[in-house]
Amino acid sequence: MTPQLVTTIAELRSLLDRHRAAGRSIGFVPTMGFLHDGHGSLMRAADHDNDIVVVSIFVNPLQFAPDEDLASYPRDLDHDREVARSNGVDLLFVPAVEEMYPQGEVLTSVSVAELSARWDGASRPTHFTGVATVVSKLFNIVGTCRAYFGRKDVQQLAIIRRMVADLSIPVEVVGCPIIREHDGLAMSSRNIYLSAEDRAAAVVLRRALDAGEQALYAGERDPAAVAKVMTDVVAAEPRARIDYVAVVDPLTLATPDRIGAETQLLIAAFLGQTRLIDNAAVRTRPESS
Amino acid sequence: MTPQLVTTIAELRSLLDRHRAAGRSIGFVPTMGFLHDGHGSLMRAADHDNDIVVVSIFVNPLQFAPDEDLASYPRDLDHDREVARSNGVDLLFVPAVEEMYPQGEVLTSVSVAELSARWDGASRPTHFTGVATVVSKLFNIVGTCRAYFGRKDVQQLAIIRRMVADLSIPVEVVGCPIIREHDGLAMSSRNIYLSAEDRAAAVVLRRALDAGEQALYAGERDPAAVAKVMTDVVAAEPRARIDYVAVVDPLTLATPDRIGAETQLLIAAFLGQTRLIDNAAVRTRPESS
């Protein structure tokens, strides 16, 4: 069934209130559009768990710095509607910037200070405050729901989980696996920016994560040593330039002195002008059950 | 009827969800307790407009600076229950700090930057971020409702209104008149800190506002001249020490070059160690209808 296109906050609220009043559960997938199968996997998870699935498409100006790619961020609503249709989406919420920010200037900001300062936040200082602000607004609009986020943006996921807990937002946050191309590159709307050569070289992010994971499995417990293994893989690819490589605790995203049972490997690198991120969650001890 | 005492977020949500499912409207009055008739007036307004009235009592650590009066802030739950009972309150939500902030540290903050920096925010730099954070959390807990705030804390009211608009919080914010003692002193839980002499001298805040208002009615349109009239009144009271006097636009809280049709007079002053605030909204032109 073709999803219903909704462009105003009032109409979305009224539709969702009616569904909730009828006892139907709501699954919500916030996106910036230009949907790929990573988004598709979130929609399928939302469709599996809930009666009604709403997907938002909003390229949020707050999370772009002035020198970033807001104006050129890829858009294709026809294709997005098709991805939504084929993944069981009921409502497609596509508000204009004026609908979301009618007063123009947004004076209010939501931020999760400590989790936002490092890694992607160090490279993009205002980014996560923009994300947390718009996601909390979208949660207020959608209301009680399950919300689906990809683990590819794992720092974003940690920030949103913490925001939801700290502010008692009535949303259950569900983190979903990273969806990859056949050669291992994590799906991203920004992959379209890559030249053919950079696209081929971009698999180096996944290869670096694999090397870090293998070092952990081999018993390495020093975060700096694991990071060096990863860095060396990227350094061997002349088209890639490292932004950061990190070996961190999954909850705090801080680098531990010594690696524990669960570790999050993070990597960000430039291929040409395009900055890509990827990550892997690694459990270094067998699960006891 | 004695209001029902609720101490957990889960129980409050479950009670309010049942009321909403039955079609009952919710009025919400967030407080820090030690209730006086200023709070009573908010409860009566909430009771008049809604089917169910919930009052929260939570002395929020986030909005106190380390050198402020968090530990000594006055508390009297028995008296608060009586004020709630006699003003039609159905539910009294009194969470422990551990219930509101189970992780101890709150990493997430909500702030309305521009409106929070001046006046009370200049004297208390972290105060309004603490207020906006806890109020947005309380709104997430209570859910869709009308929420009642006194105009005595007019900067707080402006910040909450802006936060609700910017973040699309499903709450209707209602501002209620300042309730005063017989001699004109605005009711405040902190008035109990005043010595008998300071209590008598504290009427100077209201007298300064009256003088400013009269200057406006007499045609004065220069904000600095109106502020000077107010300052002179306070200066004549040796027990009072001015923190700030301001003549501002009601929405932006900024001082205009020239006074328009609506003006907000603000004053903060110390009597002994106790900081008191008061304000008056003045319409300088007759309403056209």
Task: Give the pLDDT score at B94.
Answer: 98
Q: Which of B106, B113, B169 sits opposite A109 (nearest CB)?
A: B113
B108 in A contact zone (CB under 8 Å):
yes
Residue B288 is predicted with a pLDDT of 57
Q: Is B166 on the interface with A (CB under 8 A)?
A: yes
Res A1: pLDDT: 80
Chain B residues touching A133 at Cβ < 8 A? 167
CB contact under 8 A, A103 and B133: no
Contact call for A109 and B106, based on CB within 8 A: no
- Per residue in B199-253, pLDDT (tens digit) is 999 999 999 999 999 999 999 999 999 999 999 999 999 999 999 999 999 989 9
User: Which of A18, A100, A106, A107 best probes binding to B when mutated, by most B CB atoms within 10 angstroms?
Assistant: A107
For B102-132, give one letter per residue: b (16+ CB within 10 A) or e. eeeebbbbbbbebbbebbbbeebebbbbbbb
Closest chain B residue to A170 measured between Cα atoms?
B140
Q: Please, which residues have CB within 8 angstroms of residue A84's CB and are 6 or more apart in sequence?
A: A3, A35, A43, A55, A92
Q: DSSP of chain A, one letter per residue?
A: -PPEEE--HHHHHHHHHHHHHTT--EEEEEE-SS--HHHHHHHHHHHHH-SEEEEEE---GGGS-TTSSTTT----HHHHHHHHHHTT--EEE---HHHH-TTSS--EEEEEHHHHHSTHHHHSTTHHHHHHHHHHHHHHHH-SEEEEEEGGGHHHHHHHHHHHHHTT-SEEEEEEPPPB-TTSPBP-GGGGG--HHHHHHTTHHHHHHHHHHHHHHTT---HHHHHHHHHHHHHT-TTEEEEEEEEE-TTT-PPPSS--SEEEEEEEEEETTEEEEEEEEEE-SPPP-
A118 at interface of B, judged by CB pairs closer than 8 A? no
Whether chain A has a CB inside 8 Å of the CB on B61: the answer is no
The CA distance from A139 to the nearest CA of chain B, in Å, is: 9
Fold exhibited by the domain B189-281? Pantoate--beta-alanine Ligase; Chain: A,domain 2 (3.30.1300)
Per-residue pLDDT tens digits for B146-191: 999 999 999 999 999 999 999 999 999 999 999 999 999 999 999 9
Q: Is the pLDDT of residue B44 over 90?
A: yes
State how far the Cα of B32 lies from the Cα of B57, in Å rounded to an integer: 5
The share of chain A scoring above pLDDT 70, in percent, equals: 99
**How near does any CA of chain B get to the CA of A110, in Å?**
5
Q: Which CATH superfamily is domain B4-176 in?
A: HUPs (3.40.50.620)
Could you give the angle at the alpha carbon of A224 between the alpha carbons of A233 and A242, nearest 5°?
40
Residue A16 has which token pair? 């969702």
Q: Which of A20, A131, A166 is most worth mutating to test chain B (most B CB atoms within 10 A of its CB)?
A: A166
Chain B residues in contact with A166 by the CB 8 A cut-off are 101, 103, 106-108, 137
| Residue ranges, chain A, pLDDT below 50 | none
Q: What is the mean pLDDT of chain B?
A: 96
Domain boundaries, chain A: 4-176, 189-280
The secondary structure of A59-126 as a DSSP string is --GGGS-TTSSTTT----HHHHHHHHHHTT--EEE---HHHH-TTSS--EEEEEHHHHHSTHHHHSTT
Share of chain B above pLDDT 70, in %: 99
A189-280: CATH superfamily: Pantoate-beta-alanine ligase, C-terminal domain (3.30.1300.10)
- Which tens digits make up the pLDDT trace of B27-37? 999 999 999 99
**% of chain B residues with pLDDT over 90:** 94
Task: Please tell me if residue A104 touches chain B, with a CB cutoff of 8 Å.
Answer: no
Chain A nearest CA to B110, separation (Å): 5
Quote the pLDDT of residue A170: 98
In this complex, do A167 and B137 lie within 8 Å of one another by their Cβ atoms?
yes
Exactly one of A39, A48, A79, A127 is catalytic; name it.
A39
- Beta-carbon separation of A167 and B9 below 8 A: no
Q: Contacts of residue B108 in chain A, CB cutoff 8 Å?
A: 110-112, 132, 162-163, 166-167
Q: What is the pLDDT of residue A287?
A: 57
Among B13, B133, B166, select the one facing A107 at the smallest CB separation.
Answer: B166
Among the partner-chain residues A9, A111, A141, the one whose CB lies closest to the CB of B109 is A111
- The mean per-residue pLDDT over the stretch B119-145 comes to 96
* Tens-place pLDDT, residues A231-255: 999 999 999 999 999 999 998 999 9
A19 catalytic per annotation: no
Q: Which of A13, A137, A170 sits opposite B167 (nearest CB)?
A: A137
Joined together, the tokens standing for residue A64 give 């772009």
Shortest Cα–Cα distance, A281 to chain B (Å): 23
ipTM of the complex: 0.94
Residue B136: the pLDDT is: 98
Model confidence at B1: pLDDT above 90: no
**Inter-chain contacts counted by CB atoms under 8 A, chains A and B:** 76
- Whether B106 sits inside 8 A of A143 (CB atoms) is no
